[in-house]
Amino acid sequence: MLCALNTGGEVVFAFNAMRGGRYYCPDCGGVVIFRKGTKVKPHFAHKVKSVCLNNSAESMAHYNAKYVLAQQLLNNGYQVEVEQPIAQIQQRPDLIVNGKYAIEIQFSSIPLEVLQARTIGLEDQGYEVIWVVPQPKFYQSRMKLQQLQSVCVNPVSRRLIT
């Protein structure tokens, strides 16, 4: 996970964490270990495996994208919340920026209905939703969009974020 709480209850991002520090899971309060290796970007992991929501499997590509996005947004003065549960709709968008934008990073294909339901849920709560999808492939210098990519093109701005 990208964020943990320190002993003072403050949110600490993995890129600001220190080895040997005491950190806790924001969801269950369990002890988490800060890990910093060569292959994976720095992250927190539960010391004891639990049924915590924050244990959900996440691909390395997904975590890395979330890590880099959150770090860059914070460095540019944005306020960033990570996987903040929104109780009314039972969703946890990857990032919420300035309390206004919900960023969802989606690298695997999901049913269109799920994507629409998540978008509508967040929009109903007043968020502007931004989907981040894999880079499209090119065939003979033509961009070829998969369904996930084509449905994530913003219909107004015609922008696709990859």
Shortest separation between residue 44's beta carbon and Zn ion, angstroms = 9
Q: Which residues contact 64 (CB under 8 A, 6 or more apart)?
A: 41
Using CA atoms, how far apart are residues 22 and 73, in angstroms rounded to an integer?
Answer: 25
When binding is defined by CB under 5 A, the residue of 2, 5, 12, 25 that contacts Zn ion is: 25
Closest C-alpha among 50, 109, 55 to residue 83: 55
Q: For residues 159 and 36, give the distance between their C-alpha atoms in angstroms, rounded to a whole number.
A: 35
Of 11, 31, 45, 52, which one interacts with Zn ion (CB under 5 A)? 52
Of 6-14, 26-34, 56-64, 104-112, which part binds Zn ion (CB under 5 A)?
26-34
**DSSP symbol at 86:** B
Q: Which of 11, 15, 28, 58 binds Zn ion (CB under 5 A)?
A: 28
Residue from 1, 34, 54, 83 touching Zn ion (CB under 5 A): that is 54
- Which C-beta is closer to Zn ion: that of 27 or that of 81? 27
CA atoms of 83 and 2, how far apart (whole Å): 9
Closest CA to 32 of 55, 63, 62: 55
| Interaction of residue 82 with Zn ion, rule CB under 5 A | no
Cβ at position 1, least distance to Zn ion in Å = 8
- Give the residues across from 138 on adjacent strands: 143
27: contact with Zn ion by CB under 5 A: yes
Q: Give whichever of 1 and 133 is closer to Zn ion, judged by the CB atom.
A: 1
Using CB under 5 A, list all residues that contact Zn ion: 25, 27-28, 30, 52, 54
